[in-house]
Amino acid sequence: MITIYTTPSCSSCRKAKKWLDDHKIAYEEKNLFNSRITEEDIDRMLEHSENGFDDIISTRSKVFKDNDLDIDDMRISELKAFILENPSVLKRPIMIDGGKLQVGYNDEEIRVFIPKRLREMIMCEDCPNGDNCDYQSILKQYFAELKDKQQSH
């Protein structure tokens, strides 16, 4: 399941959640201000990032500037402790699922979270209509399949 780290005032977070909701993709939301993140959360973010802390920390954030910090001068344990005390330094939203990580909201990149069955339908694998499907009709067909599965369970 996708974990999405958000804050209430983040418009990109709202866009990402709306996209996930519109595609009926389940997620667990962790509001950075309401529920404390853990060192395990940070480790999970780092495990899936390409550039480590640079991918997840906003060095332009007020708290980062107020403390006059240089990310390159800090030990990993110091950075983790700083994030735990000041979760607002994290970029938002941060979405993780399996080996996939997305930081921020991007219309194209968020599509990595499309479920396998929907991807197959979009690629017209086993499609009775051939290449004559548009995205909205594929979504309707996918949602109908989900509904049928739920009703049969």
Q: pTM for the complete prediction?
A: 0.81
Are residues 109 and 120 both part of a single domain? no
Could you read off the pLDDT of 35-46 as tens digits, one per residue? 889 999 999 999
Domain count, the chain: 2
Q: Are residues 110 and 97 in contact, defined by beta-carbon separation less than 8 angstroms? A: no
Are residues 74 and 127 both part of a single domain? no
Are residues 128 and 86 both part of a single domain? no
pLDDT at residue 38 in the model? 95
pLDDT at residue 72 in the model? 84
pLDDT at residue 45 in the model? 95
Are residues 19 and 75 both part of a single domain? yes
Query: If residue 4 lies in a helix (H) or strand (E), which one and from where to where?
Result: strand 2-6
For residue 124, the enclosing domain spans 114-153
Rounded Cα–Cα distance for residues 54 and 31 (Å)? 21
Q: Are residues 124 and 133 in contact, defined by beta-carbon separation less than 8 angstroms? A: yes
Q: What is the set of active-site residues? A: 10
Are residues 122 and 107 both part of a single domain? no
pLDDT at residue 131 in the model? 59
The CATH number for 52's domain is 3.40.30.10
pLDDT at residue 125 in the model? 61
Are residues 59 and 9 both part of a single domain? yes
Exposure on the CB side of residue 147, measured as CA atoms within 13 A: 7
Residue ranges in the chain modelled with pLDDT below 70: 125-132
Q: Are residues 74 and 82 in contact, defined by beta-carbon separation less than 8 angstroms? A: yes
Rounded Cα–Cα distance for residues 138 and 144 (Å)? 10
